Amino acid sequence: MRGFTLVELSITIAIIIILAVVSAPIYGSLQVRTQLGESSAQIVQALRGARELSVAGYKSQAHGIYLNFNNLGADSYVAYQGLSYAARDTAYDQVFVLEKALSFVNVDLNQDSGDIDINFSQGLGLPNSQGSFKLAHGAQGVKTISINKKGKVEEN
């Protein structure tokens, strides 16, 4: 009956440690990219959904997305129904909070008191503000989301 020698066991353990050390940064980077990609896709979908509801004239209202920049905690966004965030029907609000590692960065959208209100006109779906903003991850990575003058939403 033959067993493992101390040298064989040491080599096996060393290989396992090397594989773990090499794979940890790859896994962390993959997790960051996935978190950033998933969150930006959800925001793009919310913007497109608000535009489609406005074009369809759902509840005979315009619809929009309000980006809330929160310096003390997590940023958030609100899908709302109404002519603006201030004049919205709060019963239809849908609030989405970003994970703490993620934050909004305005590029060139109209900013009102630190936050951004993107409203799409009823029937036509034209935005009240055009331009782009970024979704940034604290560790690494940025996704840019753009809205053109016809209301088309794109992710770069």
Q: What is the CATH number of the domain that holds 33?
A: 3.55.40.10
Q: What pLDDT, on the 0 to 100 scale, is given for residue 59? A: 84
Average pLDDT over residues 71-89: 92
Q: Token pair for residue 85?
A: 């965030």
- How many domains is the chain built from? 1
106 Cβ contact list (under 8 Å, min separation 6): 69, 116, 133, 134
Which of 69-73, 102-106, 122-126 has the weakest average pLDDT? 69-73
Share of the chain above pLDDT 70, in %: 99
Q: Is the torsion defined by CA of 98, 156, 66, 69 positive or negative?
A: positive
User: Which has the minimum average pLDDT: 11-15, 39-43, 107-111?
Assistant: 107-111
How confident is the prediction for the chain on average, in pLDDT?
91
- Tell me, yes or no, whether 95 lies in a domain: yes
Q: Is 60 exceeded by the pLDDT of residue 1? A: no
Taking the C-alpha atoms of residue 128 and residue 87, their distance in angstroms, rounded to an integer, is: 14
State the DSSP H helix or E strand holding residue 133, giving kind and residue range, or none if neither: strand 131-137
- 33, part of any domain: yes
Mean pLDDT calculated for residue range 111-139: 92
Instruction: Enter the tokens of residue 128.
Output: 């009240």
1 belongs to a structural domain? no
pLDDT at 119 over 90: yes
Residue 44's pLDDT band (boundaries 50, 70, 90)? Answer: very high
Would the pLDDT of 28 be above 90? no
| 67 within domain boundaries | yes
